[in-house]
Structure 1
Amino acid sequence: MATAVVLRYYNVPLPTTVRFVAYLGLGVVLPGTLLWRVLRGRSDRLVADAAAGAALGYTVEVLAYVAARWAGAPLLVLAWPIGMVTVALAVPRFRRYWRSAPGRRTPAAWAWSLVAVLAVFVFRSVRHFRGHGLGWPVSASTDADTPFHWALIGEAKHHMPMQAPWVSGERLVYHWFAYPEMAATSWVTGIDPLTLLVRLSPLPMVVAFLVLVAVLAGRLTGRWWTGPAAVVAALLVLAPNPYGWRLSDAWFGFGPVEDGSIFRLTAWTSPTQTFGALLFAALMLVLVDILEPAPDGPGPRGGAGRWVLVCLLLAGVSGAKSPYLPMLTGALLAAVALLVLTRRGLCRPMLVLAGLVALFTAGSQLVLYGGAGQGLVVEPLAIMSTYESMAAAMTGYTGPGAPFGRLAVIGGLTVLSWLLMWGGVLAARGRLLDPAVLLLLCVGLVGLAGVLVFGHPGGSQGYLIVSGRPYLAIVSVVGLSVALGSGPVRAGRAWSLVAAVAAGVGAVWLVRLADGPALPAGNLGWELARPYLALAGGAAAAAAALFTLRRLGWLRSGAVALLVCWCAGFGLASAGDGVRAVADDVVGTYGSGTWHAVDPAKQLGPDGRASAVDRDTYAVGRWLRDHADPDDLLATNAHCFGVHRPGGPCDNRRFGLSAASQRRVLVEGWGFTNSTYLRAAEDNVPPWFAEFWDRQRLADNDAAFTNPSPETVGLLRDRYGVRWLVVDASVTGSADLGGFAVPRYTSGLCTVYELPR
């Protein structure tokens, strides 16, 4: 109810929310939960089955919609939920799957603690709501991603197979399964795709994902509190920030080093990452069942139903987010090698899984991605010069063209921060070689290795650590559970842990106090690493003290010391900096000091030309959505993102017309396509400044707007099949097309012309 109130405040009417929830519950979660229970068996927790069932329901919904849309009948997507529910009602042996298995009730503390964490997420979502409208302004000037995602939902709603709608005929080489999901929801509910993108669809995906993180942690430890602890660690724990310097909260990242915390931002700005995270979490739950079945768990070890689940979820993950399957392949192979090297024996189910995942990985690369890398290249430590909120970038220590030695220093500090965040992994000791725990650990480690090894011109290699971060958090919590012992925590141990956390927090604050609030002048060196080395020295001293006083042994002493630093980092980053960041997000975003939406007159200028989707393009796009046939092709003379100054570079990430109209454009922008990445690599320029690869098509397109004649305008109609021309008068050289096409609609500087058939 509270979420519905927040959505209503941000212009989502209550009936719209009700329609969305009704379809989500009856068309996705219910049939998905029934199918999950049929294939895996019932558990004694409805919320666990429902979260996993949502992931499975989304997967089957996407596959069903792709087939239905390809057949030209998108509403046939409803055949799958209707059929599943009908079978579950009609077949006697399936009726038991409507009920949970008898067993323990969900602990109230588990449920309410998760509700509290999810409330924090909804509270923080206000930042996104304030900066993204359901009408104009759609988003602020710096956001090219929102119109990109919006255009692809419109493409999925009207066409299959999908293309890049801003460059007609360009193959879509991207992980695109999130867009058919929202397109299907739009067809069934009548909700506008933009409302789904910036208000509704990501919410249940994140909620189900976090529930699955909690379920996985509880599944591996048997303790209820580890579930909420893993969710908090996955969502809120940041790398320790021992600097006294005031660091800016830049667009990428939230701490002084790369720590994967961008997930808090990409939960809304990257629907593909959110969708992929949910499907992958459900897949990991099935893999844990196969590798380490619970004694009282549902179904036999490795039953046929679970292998069907694995195949279905692998199919979903393959098109939901491209990094996940290569990460999982590498993690499985690494886990197999470690088990063999440690003489634990060959885990045959894990080897079979590695082969199956490798098969799906190769298939997705050939079928969905065409073998394209989308700009991802081997470039060690490239991420260290990308994130603007890093202290090194702010002080000029790193940046584009920085020496590799400096990047290596920041890389070392980043790895040290990872140890301080997830030091609980070391306390897991013997559990680390349990196949299921080892797999989760390897997934996280492969993500960390990937972010250090690969580079991407847009910083997208950061999604590797975002993808692996939740599983490192789970294993770290498993280690914390091991360190606390199997029985009740004794008072003495509890007080020693409290004292250790207090000492760690005090140590970080002392380092901050000694460091001072001002940024050091001149070139940085020792000053950059000193706070982290002080923390590492403190951890070593704590380990030595524990070894001397408690005689726990060096390994366990080091693990406990790192746990202390992990808790101290959590106490500082999440309880201090994290809370302040959330408060700043809600209260102070864009300097308005209120919860209201961004004032376009202040942020985008009086005519809105600086917006990612300017006001006039938005208006003509919506008119075309209502008056043009979905198969009609548009042409425009506006190709550059934002305000393009003559003689300056053209930012090719313009998607506003194809997004607002939900129609294909001959050439609008050409950013975020594989052909653009290839051209950028050839010319050694950033991909958003690369030139269009088909110069003849662009010349033919622009000639109709700068030199209109029966020949130039007729060429667009007869050769390219253009039906509508959208003239933006702000573009230099634009001419009046009134003598060659029929003017149909004008908004400010933009006019729509129709070409007779």
Structure 2
Amino acid sequence: MTPAVPRGPLVRWRVSPGRGAWVPVALVCAGAVAAFLWCGVSARDLCAFAAYVLGGVALPGTLLWRALAWRERTAVREDGAGRERTAAREDGAGAGRERTAAREGGAGRGWAAAEEVAGGLALGYAVEVLAYIPARAAGMPLLVVLPPVVVVGAFACVPGLRRHWRREAGGERVPVWCAWVLAGIVAFLIGWSALFQFRVPVEAGYVDLPYHLALVGEVKRHAPPTMPAVLGEPLAYHWFVYADLAATSWVTGVEPVTLVYRLAMLPMAAAMVVLVAAVGRRLGGSWGAGAAAAGVTYFLFSPELVAEVVFSSRSMFTVWTSPTQTFGALLFAALVLLLTGDGRTRWVVPGVLLVALTGAKATYLPLLLAGLLVVIAVRWVVARRVPGRWLGVAGLTLACLLFAQLVLFGRGAQGMSVSPLATARTVWGAVADVGMPEPASVSPVPLVVLTGVHLFCLACVWGGVAGLGRRALEPAVLLLLGIGAAGIGATLVFGHPAESQLYFLEAARPYLSVAAVCGVLAAARTSWVRVAKLAGTGAVAALVVAHVGFLGGALERVVAPYLVLGAGALAVLVGARRRGAVPVVAVLAGFALPTSVRDVAGHVLPSAQWRERLIPEGALEAGRWLRAHSSPDDVVATDLHCRHDWWQVCDSRHFWVSGFSERRVLVEGWAYAESTLSRARPFVRSYLAVPFADPGRLAANDAVFRAPTAANVRTLAQKYGVKWLFTGINPELGKYARLRFQNGTSSVYELPER
């Protein structure tokens, strides 16, 4: 049997029963309110949003989470030692580890309140999305409130369910110190968001936010959704997060632009912090391990020793720029928490989370399936049997994955393709200071070398995995290792015109961090003072090497600093063989510390960052006027396609017309259309240089704005069903269409009846 979790310093920390853990939570909530008000969110919108998220999503979700978990824990108590022996036979050392953790005050003492609320919020979002889709299809989107009303009413009226309004008596409390640590991480996210997201005007926001806004409007008005910026284009994209935002907008009356640019992602990000720590607590045996896992997840990054050359380990700071990633990460973290538990959670909660994850983010299901297959394969080799629950979850995951790819996404790949070492090709472009198409024809040798450096950089962040030893045979740990290996492998094997293959690595980041922390605890054979000294030595070494000028060609100058650090780590490994893996892991982490400190500080310190306002100030007003005076089924035409008119090619990431108006546009921006990405040639031509797939439609569209005539206006109306024209100041259009709205930057015309 695999040995129990070593009783290192982190594992021995006891759970504090004090109620002071709610103080940092209250302070963070107050800080969030102050930040939103400071950044211009109205008190009315803030109150409505908070009331809906707490009462309509988190409360029913938490009640369901508690009810299912309570019943399963009751069954464990009733069966007693017999069930524990069965679990030990099925899961090997995992059950023994959980019993040890229970004796030490760790993961075996039931759900903590923070876990219940965070997991309940994820479950509540899943139920909301799955309720909204049929409600929207039926033309009654406000029916989305029915499930939470039924759940809360049932738990209030049914005697057998009322006890779930209170926490279980044997449940664990988050230690006060740990609550402060997790609250500090959330506070950091709030501060960074307020400075670099909330305070930024909508007109100068991140380039992709209008795209997300347009999809919210599409899912709010139509079912099934299509791509709103290109009429009739299938939406081969994960869109369930937009169903959440659409439902929230319907119920609360909060504008989609406020949800996308300000409010919606923060509850998901905060719950994600708690869930990462909860997974770390369950596998590491204490909240100390959970806090360490959260710290590594959010604040430890690959060492950057050469300017302009990044061997990325990704970060969690895509909270606002990628709502799909944020939403998918939350659902996935709740699912992993259930799967790494004691194995007795009923199927309903994982099933609901899996179904919601199907359309939430395409990245996660392949990673989960890979992790489950690793568990099944290794447990079959080690124990000659596989617990049925792993096979069942794997089968359900495969079914969801096939449904997503074949039905939901219509077999679209959104530009993702098998392209080995594509990430290294991008790095080579920075190393050699060359642009396309040179990276497409580089020889494999430098790509292999750069990939090796990239893996070394990842080892600096997650080298603790090497200390797992026999703990790596536990099913829960195997699941995390499989997810992590799949995330790294997908980053190396796949390619995407916009480097979206790196989202696989970002998705796996929390679980590699948990596994690394568990490995350090399992291999701890030296004092933590010595570990700190070794990490400090590594940090000094990284700073020195980064400022040494190495001779040679471009590749040699980039690789040499990492070779020097690698040789130093190898020397530490040879000299500390009897102390286990912890010394070399400490040195590797030290290599990453200078970059991590710089990047973390850079997220909150004032900077001279400048964002160009590519959206005219009157655009939002014009879009809302059009929304108020048109039907959701009306089609709009515009001549606004390019973000940069002065580029040699059209940067067609232009989506604010469909975003602000919540109307389908004949052709606005086509950069993210499946018909565009499927024609992009990685490293040969940028997807931004790919022309529109239907040049005839584009020509007919633009002719009306460049040289309007009665004939081409009639063609646009009769052939394509256009009713509205959205443009800048164009007096010529007034001869053939009725001017309905105009301000200093935008005009809206209505075409005559066909």
- Short-chain TM bin: 0.7 to 0.9
Counterpart residue type for residue 531 of structure 1: P
CA distance in 2: counterparts of 1:153 and 1:204, whole angstroms: 18
Counterpart residue type for residue 118 of structure 1: V
Which range is displaced more, 143-152 or 503-512? 503-512
CA distance in 2: counterparts of 1:413 and 1:473, whole angstroms: 20
1:115 partnered with 2:183: yes
CA distance in 2: counterparts of 1:130 and 1:385, whole angstroms: 35
- Report what 2:450 is aligned to: 410
Counterpart residue type for residue 694 of structure 1: D
Contact 1:333 1:354 in 2 (8 A): yes
CA distance in 1: counterparts of 2:618 and 2:639, whole angstroms: 14
CA distance in 2: counterparts of 1:211 and 1:128, whole angstroms: 23
- Report what 2:94 is aligned to: none
Residue 720 of structure 1, CA deviation: 2.1
Residue 344 of structure 1, CA deviation: 5.7
- Report what 2:35 is aligned to: 6
Residue 569 of structure 1, CA deviation: 3.7
Contact 1:167 1:670 in 2 (8 A): yes
Counterpart residue type for residue 601 of structure 2: R
- Report what 1:598 is aligned to: none
Residue 157 of structure 1, CA deviation: 1.4
Contact 2:531 2:582 in 1 (8 A): no
CA distance in 1: counterparts of 2:61 and 2:697, whole angstroms: 46
CA distance in 2: counterparts of 1:701 and 1:571, whole angstroms: 54
CA distance in 2: counterparts of 1:31 and 1:459, whole angstroms: 38
Query: Residues 531-584 of structure 1, C-alpha deviation per residue, up to 9 Å, x if partnerless?
Result: 22222222222222223xxx45xxxx3x2233212442454343x32343234x
Query: Residues 71-115 of structure 1, C-alpha deviation per residue, up to 9 Å, x if partnerless?
Result: 111111111111110111111111111111112332111211111
Residue 343 of structure 1, CA deviation: 4.9
Contact 2:705 2:733 in 1 (8 A): yes
Among 38, 46, 49, which residue is 1:20 paired with?
Answer: 49
Contact 1:51 1:212 in 2 (8 A): yes
- Report what 2:116 is aligned to: 49
- Report what 1:63 is aligned to: 130
1:737 partnered with 2:733: yes
- Report what 1:251 is aligned to: none
- Report what 2:312 is aligned to: 258
Contact 1:725 1:755 in 2 (8 A): yes
Among 490, 501, 506, which residue is 1:461 paired with?
Answer: 501
Among 341, 354, 361, which residue is 1:321 paired with?
Answer: 361
- Report what 1:29 is aligned to: 58
- Report what 1:207 is aligned to: 270
- Report what 1:349 is aligned to: 389
CA 1:511/1:82 → structure 2, altered by over 3 Å: closer, same or farther? closer
CA distance in 2: counterparts of 1:751 and 1:439, whole angstroms: 55
- Report what 2:148 is aligned to: 81
Please give the secondary structure, in 2, of the residue aligned with 1:724. strand
Query: Residues 292-325 of structure 1, C-alpha deviation per residue, up to 9 Å, x if partnerless?
Result: x1xxxxxxx445xx21112111111110100111
- Report what 2:107 is aligned to: none
- Unpaired segments ≥5 residues, structure 2: 1-29, 72-109
Which range is displaced more, 356-365 or 692-701? 692-701
Residue 420 of structure 1, CA deviation: 2.1
- Report what 1:155 is aligned to: 218
- Report what 1:594 is aligned to: none
Contact 1:237 1:569 in 2 (8 A): no
CA distance in 2: counterparts of 1:670 and 1:105, whole angstroms: 50
Residue 447 of structure 1, CA deviation: 0.2
CA RMSD of superposed structures (Å): 2.6
CA 1:313/1:511 → structure 2, altered by over 3 Å: closer, same or farther? closer
CA 1:707/1:392 → structure 2, altered by over 3 Å: closer, same or farther? closer
Contact 2:637 2:722 in 1 (8 A): yes
1:524 partnered with 2:554: yes
CA 1:239/1:684 → structure 2, altered by over 3 Å: closer, same or farther? closer
Residue 644 of structure 1, CA deviation: 4.6
Residue 271 of structure 1, CA deviation: 0.3
- Report what 2:340 is aligned to: 288
CA distance in 2: counterparts of 1:515 and 1:170, whole angstroms: 48
- Unpaired segments ≥5 residues, structure 1: 249-254, 294-300, 486-492, 592-602
Please give the secondary structure, in 2, of the residue aligned with 1:279. helix
Residue 355 of structure 1, CA deviation: 1.6
TM-score (norm 2): 0.86
Which range is displaced more, 420-429 or 432-441? 420-429
Contact 2:741 2:748 in 1 (8 A): yes
CA 1:101/1:393 → structure 2, altered by over 3 Å: closer, same or farther? farther
CA distance in 2: counterparts of 1:564 and 1:344, whole angstroms: 37
Residue 14 of structure 1, CA deviation: 2.9
- Report what 2:488 is aligned to: 448
Contact 2:484 2:509 in 1 (8 A): yes
1:419 partnered with 2:419: no
Contact 1:233 1:473 in 2 (8 A): yes
Matched residues, percent identical?
38
Where do residues 80-479 of structure 1 align in structure 2 (5 Å cutoff)?
80-103=147-170, 104-129=172-197, 132-134=200-202, 137-139=203-205, 143-241=206-304, 243=305, 245=306, 247=307, 256-261=310-315, 263-264=316-317, 266-289=318-341, 293=342, 301-302=343-344, 306-343=346-383, 345-386=385-426, 392=431, 400-401=439-440, 402-479=442-519
Among 548, 559, 563, which residue is 2:585 paired with?
Answer: 563
TM-score (norm 1): 0.85
Query: Residues 389-428 of structure 1, C-alpha deviation per residue, up to 9 Å, x if partnerless?
Result: x973669999734433222111101111222211111212
Counterpart residue type for residue 740 of structure 1: Y
CA 1:563/1:754 → structure 2, altered by over 3 Å: closer, same or farther? same
Please give the secondary structure, in 2, of the residue aligned with 1:380. coil
CA 1:158/1:569 → structure 2, altered by over 3 Å: closer, same or farther? same
CA distance in 1: counterparts of 2:561 and 2:160, whole angstroms: 63
Which range is displaced more, 63-72 or 463-472? 63-72
